[in-house]
Amino acid sequence: MFESISIPDFETLYTETELNVIDIRETSNYLKGHLAYSISLPATLLPNMLKKLNKEKTYHIISYSGRRSEIIASFMASKGFHAVYVIGGIQHFSQAF
């Protein structure tokens, strides 16, 4: 299943529940700042790492602007994962606080 979530809704979920967040930015950008407890899994590596992810879980996919996360979430959904892309990406999430 493929879904999207707005920054305000994601912010609420993120602060109130335990989410599986995959940050698909390159590792160097992840290390400059990321959401606590997020998993760094660059978009270029993700297709080869799908076998390590659990299809029973929901994954919130975040990138810098949201464009790549939409593509990756759609790809993951086509492989049987429940993926939710965060509209606007991390650039807007950090501004939401």
> Which pLDDT value is given to residue 66?
87
pLDDT of residue 94 exceeding 70: no
Instruction: Record the tokens describing residue 45, joined without a space.
Output: 């590596």
What is the extent of the structural domain holding 18? 2-93
Tally of domains in the chain: 1
Alpha carbon distance 21, 38 (integer Å)? 5
As a three-state string, the secondary structure of 15-77 is HHCCCEEEECCCHHHHHHCCCCCCEECCCCCHHHHHHHCCCCCEEEEECCCCHHHHHHHHHHH
Whether the full predicted model's pTM is greater than 0.85, yes or no, is yes
> Which pLDDT value is given to residue 96?
47
Instruction: Record the tokens describing residue 49, joined without a space.
Output: 């790492």
CATH number at 47 reads: 3.40.250.10
What are the pLDDT digits (tens) for 38-61?
999 999 999 999 999 999 999 999
> Which pLDDT value is given to residue 92?
82
